[in-house]
Amino acid sequence: MNTLTLTDLLNKIKEYNPDEVDIIKKAYDYADNLHKGQMRQSGDAYITHPLNVAYILADMHADRDTVCAGLLHDTLEDTDITKEDIRIVFNNEIAELVDGVTKLSKMNFSSKHDQNMANTRKIITGITSDVRIIIIKLADRLHNMRTLEFKSEFKQKENSLETMEIFVPLAYYIGAYRIKSELEDLSFKYLKPDVYKKIEEKKFKIEEENNEMLREMLIKIHTMLNDKSIPNEIKIRTKNIYGIYKRLSEGHKISDIHDLLALKIMVDEVDNCYRTLGLVHSLYNPVNSKFKDYICNPKTNMYSSLHTTVFSREGKLVQTQIRTFDLDKIASFGLTAYWDIEKGNARDVMQNELKDKYQFFKSLSELNIMFKDNQEFVEQVKSEIFSDRVYVYTLNGDVYELPKGATPIDLAYKISDTIGNTMIGVYINDEYKELDTVLKNKDRVRIITDDLSYGPGDDWYDKAVTSLAKRKIKEYSIKK
Ligand code: MN
Q: How far is the CA of 110 from the centre of ligand 1 (A)?
A: 24
Rounded to 10°, the helix 346-357/131-146 angle is 100
Confidence of residue 108 (pLDDT cuts 50, 70, 90): very low
Task: Kindly state the average pLDDT of the residues 403-430.
Answer: 94
Identify the band that residue 401 occupies on the pLDDT scale cut at 50, 70 and 90. Answer: confident
For domain 6-191, the CATH class is mainly alpha
What pLDDT shows up at residue 188?
A: 96
- Mean pLDDT along residues 77-85: 90
pLDDT score of 104 more than 50 = no
How confident is the model at residue 234, as a pLDDT? Answer: 98
Q: 389 pairs with which residues across the strands?
A: 403
Q: May I ask the CATH class of domain 194-335?
A: alpha beta
Domain with CATH 1.10.3210.10 in the chain: 6-191
Distance 350 CA to ligand 1 centre (A): 23
CA-to-CA separations, 433 to 171, 397, 417, 424, 454, in angstroms, rounded: 36, 20, 21, 11, 19
What percent of the chain shows pLDDT beyond 70?
97
Given a contact cutoff of 8 angstroms between Cβ atoms, the answer to whether 236 and 218 are in contact is yes
Cα 134 to ligand 1 centroid, rounded to whole Å: 13
Which helix (H) or strand (E) covers residue 424, if one does?
strand 423-428
Neighbours of ion ligand 1 (CB under 5 A): 74, 140
Closest C-alpha among 17, 104, 35 to residue 72: 35
Bridge partners for 262 per DSSP: 237, 319
Residue 200 has pLDDT above 90, yes or no: yes
pLDDT confidence tier of residue 450, bands split at 50, 70 and 90: very high
CA distance 154 to 325: 42
Whats the size of the chain, residue-wise?
A: 480
The angle formed by the CA atoms of residues 328, 20 and 179, to the nearest 5 degrees, is 35
Are 243 and 300 spatial neighbours (Cβ–Cβ below 8 Å)?
Answer: no
Q: Mean of the per-residue pLDDT values for the chain?
A: 91
Residue 111: pLDDT above 70? no
Distance 42 CA to ligand 1 centre (A): 14
Task: Identify whether 149 is a catalytic site residue.
Answer: no
Distance from residue 152's CA to the centre of ligand 1 (Å) = 18
356: annotated active-site residue: no
Instruction: Delimit the CATH 3.30.460.10 region(s) of the chain.
Output: 194-335
Indicate which residue of 44, 78, 200, 293 is catalytic. Answer: 78
Q: Which residues make up the CATH 3.10.20.30 domain(s) of the chain? A: 388-479
Task: Exactly one of 77, 348, 373, 462 is catalytic; name it.
Answer: 77
Give the distance (Å) from ligand 1 centre to CA of residue 15.
Answer: 25
- Residues 6 or more apart from 471 whose CB is under 8 A from it? 366, 370
Spatial separation of the C-alpha atoms in residues 95 and 108, rounded to whole Å: 22
Interval between CA 45 and ligand 1 midpoint (Å): 13
What's the gap in Å between 99 CA and the centre of ligand 1? Answer: 13
Res 2: pLDDT: 54
Per-residue pLDDT reduced to its tens digit, 224-271:
999 999 999 999 999 999 999 999 998 888 888 889 999 999 999 999
388-479: CATH architecture: Roll (3.10)
What is the Å distance from ligand 1's center to 29 Cα?
Answer: 17
Asked if the model's pLDDT at residue 332 lies above 90, the reply is no
Q: What are the start-end ranges of the E strands in 147-254? A: 232-238
**Ligand 1: distance of its center to the CA of 398 in Å?**
40
19 C-alpha vs ligand 1 centroid, how far in Å?
Answer: 26
Check pLDDT > 50 for residue 106: no
Cα-based distances in Å from 314 to 65, 277, 285, 294, 439: 51, 20, 12, 28, 39
